[in-house]
Amino acid sequence: MFALVFGLAALFCALTAILSPAAVVFAVLGLILAVAGLKMAKKPGVTGKGVAVGGLVTALLGLILGGVVIGGLAAVVNDKTQLDRIQHYIANARAKLPSTQQVRNQLPAK
């Protein structure tokens, strides 16, 4: 059961780029708990093999996706041209924003 919880947490953290390091930690914990769950499910009378397999799959996906996101972010941050392109994009987006006075003029009068 806990393997699935940690696997899902890893998957959700990996989908948000800022929490990708936490995804790797949760995925490793999920993998350990999934393997333990699979070993326990082999005993007679113990159920939960499906949950352990689900935890194993989600933890593995979270680990892979978290690693890819961390690697991608590291590649972007270490590339000067990419950083310049991002800064230029942000500066253009800020220039297109209306001023505070323009926004206030568009509000309905009380």
Whether the model pTM is above 0.85: no
Q: Is the pLDDT of residue 80 over 90?
A: no
pLDDT confidence of residue 57: 95
Binning pLDDT at 50, 70 and 90, where does residue 83 land? confident
Q: Where are the alpha helices (DSSP H) in 1-110?
A: 2-15, 20-41, 49-77, 80-96, 100-106
Q: Is the pLDDT of residue 22 over 80?
A: yes
User: Could you tell me the pLDDT band of residue 18, with boundaries at 50, 70 and 90?
Assistant: confident
Mean pLDDT rounded to a whole number for the chain: 90
Q: What is the percentage of the chain residues whose pLDDT exceeds 70? A: 99
CA pair distance 10, 22, nearest whole angstrom = 7
